[in-house]
Amino acid sequence: RFLIKGGLAGAAVYVAYDQGLLGSGTQGAEALKKAQETLPPAIQEWTNYLGWEVRAAQLPATPKFDFSLSESWNKGVHTVMSALSVAPTRACEYTMEGWKYVKDLVK
């Protein structure tokens, strides 16, 4: 079972690398464009093969993604860095509040 899961994971990584999903943002955008062009005909072919009747009008439209991996990464880095820069101040505030709470309980 472990070998099957490992093989599937390895195959998924290989396909992602082969299609350019692990490369630059432009390669990822090209791969997404290729998938958007390829997916509806492939679904139609499989539904015909399986004997299901699916008209093109019944298929949902391909969602439009305006997603930049570099912008998301940069936003995450900024968020983490701002949290780390405020951490000492917050730790001091929470410590003082904790001592105050303990002092109030002792009284």
- pTM exceeds 0.75, yes or no: no
- Secondary structure (3-state) at 65: coil
- Angle, alpha carbons 64-70-78 (nearest 5°): 120
> What pLDDT digit, counting tens, does each position of 50-98 carry?
776 655 555 667 777 777 777 888 888 899 999 999 999 999 999 999 9
Amino acid at 55: R
- Per domain, the residue ranges of the chain are 1-58, 64-106
**Please, which contacts does 91-99 make with residues 24 or more away whose CB atoms are closer than 8 Å?**
none
Distance CA 104, CA 87 (A): 25
